[in-house]
Structure formats: structure tokens, C-alpha cells
Structure 1
Amino acid sequence: MKLLMIDDDTGLCELLSEYLSTQNFEVEAVHDGAQGLKLAQDNDYALILLDVMLPSMDGFEVLKQLRLSKLTPVIMLTAKGEDFDRIFGLELGADDYIPKPFNHRELLARVKAITRRIEHINTLSSSAPANNKLNINGLTINTAAREASIDEHTLTLTGTEYEVLTLLCKHAGEVVSKEKISEEVLGRRLASFDRSIDMHVSNIRKKIAEHIKTERIKTMRGTGYVFIQGE
């Protein structure tokens, strides 16, 4: 699988490129935000590793511009302790984040979790019947096409948002814990004070709210979320 790394730390890029190549990943590295955005727009990568602090264009702007045309999975590389960076990156459509400095094995685990999900999804999509759909309270999920719509309005979701919404719909009317969502969608345990699942759900809500006013996803404080089955 081919990955794109956008980071101005040339030494880190070289080390990660060498390390990930031993795990059957091919890494293309660039050190400038604008250049990275062009590559991301013009090519199909399995995953993008995107630093926040970049010359010419910061990582937030790269992600914002990328999401106008492509839903390539993105892991943001954020400064340790910078909660704003993490939350803002997730709001813009990042799939996950990892704070610097990080352990190479932890990064590899995050990368593998997302790329495994992509491979699994592609396998399921290719074998799923064309009419394999979930229809719940005005929401339709076409699992073969990996598309979701609300009252016949298409929802433009990232891969992670789609997986979160699908999981909630498969358990419609039931409370799904944030821990379960993190493990099944992100492929990792939910850490203390980790707001990644909250932000993904918030993004889904905003996209649904563009088309309908009634609430579809209810927060169960201290527990998780539930997709409402009916009015």
C-alpha cells in the first residue's frame, strides 16, 4: 500500500519511510504543505500522514482543501498536549490523530488499523448484493456502494464517519458505547480524555442537520450514543 507523508521533518520522514517499508508500505514523503496537497489531490493513496506545522500551507488548510474533493483517510500528527490541534483536525475530517513525539510501533498500529479496515471494506463491498441496504428512520445506508443518505439527500462522509454511522444504525435503538465504537472503527482502545469519537459523531450530526432538523443520534451522557429508530 502506498502512503503519503507530509511533514517538514526530513529526518523523521526518512526514518518512518524505512520503518514502514519493512511492513510492506511504500511511503512518498514531501515537506511542504502546498506540494503535499497537490500530490494528495492528484493521486490515490491508501492513507495520508499529515503534520500540522508545515511551510507554505499548514496541515489544517491542507486537510480542509483536500476534503473538498477527496476522502482519503488522514492521520494528523499533532504536538503533544495540543488538544485544540486534535479537535480541530477531527472537525475538519481527519480520521485519527497521534501526538508527537510518538512511538513508531504506535503509529504503525494506527496505520494498520485504518488500512485493514479499508481492505476489509473493499472485500465486503465487492461481494455484497447490490440491494444490501439499511433503512432506518429516513436514513438509508447502501453497504455495497458505501453510501449514506437521509431523506434521499446524499451524505458526504469520510470513511471513519461512514463506519461510525453504520455501526450505530446496525444497533439502532440500542446504546453503543464510545469504547465499542473506538475499538470497532478505529481499531484501538479509547484513551482517557480522548474526544475522537465525540468529534466524529458531531461531524455526522452536522451533515445530517444540513438536510433535516430532527435529531437522529442521541447522546447518552457518560455512556455512548444511540441512533433513534423512529419519531
Structure 2
Amino acid sequence: MPTYATGDGHNSDFTILIADDDPYITELIRLYLSNKGYTLLSCASGSEVLPLIRSSRIHLLLLDIMLPGLDGWEVCRSLREMSDMPILMLTAKGESEDKALGFGLGADDYMVKPFDPNELVMRVGSLLRRAYTYTQTRRQMAAPAPLQFDTMRIDTAAHTVTIQQELIELTPREYKLLLTFANHPNQVLDRQQLLDLVWGGDYFGEDRVVDVTVKRLRHKLSEESGYWSIETVRGTGYKFKVGG
């Protein structure tokens, strides 16, 4: 069963879900994050994570990999299909292959146990600032005119994308990535530039997250138009090619 701890102060606006079956680790995290005022929710089974996220207003997930019920890999994969919520994997699996898999599935950050709780607090704060400051800022900005590329229309006021007048369901991160490409047509953007523009300059993770998000974006857009395409520039990054 999930357990709750309500924070106070400005950080209480953020709710963090701790998914870990080690009660010592959960209590350690709870101690440090509650001291910063965060509202905390915890569970010890992977099968509890997605139902909790669907039923609660959660802003960040601290995710162990070796969970009963549903492991962290599957939780991460499933969550990325429905949300851009920041995911910080916190696990004893510290091999480079494990980290690559975590970032490949869409994790935003990865820490290996044993970890420094103070560093965890800093990384949590960074992930929350990057994820939610952009969302608040873009709502306050006057939106420019819609962008049109053949049959694809990017409505910058409504933050929606349509192709042949059919709505394309994108996560906020996928939308921001597409908008970044659209604002730099026919320009090569390397992975670090995309990380800075889409994820923010204080991103701690690996640049493989760019490739994963581009892959999801391509799949959703289908790239059926002969007028535009998201091209891979080998060894560098990507280019949003427009025109013949």
C-alpha cells in the first residue's frame, strides 16, 4: 500500500513518488526530501506505480529497477508512453549497460546506490526546475503565429500538432523537440544543442535521451510528407529538412 508524507513551504507544490522495496532507502530519501518541504508518496511494488500516477498529481518519480510485481525497466517504458514526468532511476545496478538501457527507455537521470542524499536532493531540484519552469513560462508568453509545413500545422497557442487536420498526440517534451526543430529549419543541431534547448542546460543525464525522443517523435509523426523530414546527421545530431 502507498504511504504519504505532506510537506510544507514552496516545495510542497511538488509531489514525488518513491518506488523502492527497501524500507531503509525509502526512509532515508523521505528524511532528506521532506526536510526540503516536498510532498512524498511511496510504494514498494512496481505494479503500484502506474495506477498511483494515474490517480494522483505526481511531479517526479524516483524509481528502483529491481521491484516486485513489475520491474523498473517496464515501469519506465510504460510511463514514457503516457507522460514526460521526470524519472530518476535510483538503483544498485551500476554497469554502463544498465545506465544505457535506463536512458534509452526515457529516464532523465540515473544514480547508483549507495548514493549521497545531498546530491539526490540537488538532482531532484534540478529535474523539477527544468521540467516545470518551462511549462509555467510558456503559458505566460504570447504565442507566435502557427507554423505550417505542408500538411503539418504546429499551433503554438494551443500547443498542438495536426497532420492533414488530424490531431497528433505528443507529450510536452516531444512537442518542445518538434517546435525546436521547426524553429531551426534546414539547420544541423547536435545532441548537446538539443539537450540545452529542450531539456535545459543543467541536464545531468546522457545525450542518448535525445535519440530516444526523436525516435518516438518520428513514429508519431509517421514522416509521410515529402516536404519535410527529421534527418539523422551521422556523428553529429539531427536536421529538420524542409523543402525539396
Q: TM-score normalised by the shorter chain: which range applies? A: 0.7 to 0.9
1:11-30 matched pairs, under 5 angstroms: 11-30=24-43
Letter aligned with residue 222 of structure 1:
G
Q: Which of 154, 157, 175 lines up with 1:162 in the alignment?
A: 175
Identity of aligned residues (%): 30
1:95-106 matched pairs, under 5 angstroms: 95-101=107-113, 102-106=115-119
In structure 1, the gaps of 5 or more residues are: none
Does 2:97 correspond to 1:83?
yes
Secondary structure at the residue paired with 1:216? strand
1:44 is displaced (CA, Å) by 1.5
Q: Note the aligned Cα RMSD (angstroms).
A: 3.1
Whether 1:196 aligns to 2:209 is yes
Contact 1:41 1:66 in 2 (8 A): no
Aligned positions, number: 228
Kindly state the Cα deviation for residue 131 of structure 1 after the two structures are TM-superposed.
6.7
Partner of 1:9: 22
Query: Larger C-alpha radius of gyration, 1 or 2?
Result: 2
Q: Deviations over 1:16-39 (max 9, x none)?
A: 222223333222111111122221
Which residue is 2:56 aligned to? Answer: 43
Q: Secondary structure at the match of 1:148?
A: strand
Please report the TM-score for the alignment, with normalisation by the length of structure 1.
Answer: 0.80
Match of 2:236 among 223, 226, 229: 223
The answer to whether the 8 Å contact 1:76/1:86 transfers is no
State the AA in 2 paired with 1:139: M
Distance, in Å, in 1 between the alignment partners of 2:164 and 2:118 is: 43
Which residue identity does 2:95 align to in structure 1? Answer: G
